[in-house]
Amino acid sequence: MQSVLHRREFIRRRKQLKLTQKELASELDLPPDELRKLERGDQPVRRLHLLALDQLRLQAATRDSGLVTAAMLLNAEQLLERIGYRIIRSP
């Protein structure tokens, strides 16, 4: 079940970026057939794939702040904390 949820989320995030499968494959340095396998469910979508899409969304958000979601911010904070950064929130 987790894999189906990840697959749907992966497709949703790609569509939010307004990228075709071919364009996203190019952005992620994946062969287009590998991306199709992920979206069809022939290969599992891993958290790493979702984080890669979040990275692309954050890059796009520097051009359009409407693309940033609360989940993206939380994922970014968690990732930064895991690699040793300390998040300090303003009061």
**Region 57-64 average pLDDT:** 77
Check whether 2 has a pLDDT greater than 70. Answer: no
Range among 8-12, 22-26, 73-77, 82-86 with highest mean pLDDT value:
22-26
The pTM of the whole model exceeds 0.95? no
Helices 47-61/2-16 angle, 10° precision: 20
Domains of the chain: 2-82 (1.10.260)
Distance CA 20, CA 45 (A): 17
Burial of 49 (0-12, 13-18, 19+ CB in 10 A): buried
The 8 Å CB, 24+ separation contacts for 19-25 are 24/53, 24/56
In which residue are the tokens 């904070």 written? Answer: 77
Check whether 83 has a pLDDT greater than 70. Answer: yes
Here the tokens at position 53 are 């899409």
Q: Which residues contact 46 (CB under 8 A, 6 or more apart)?
A: 6
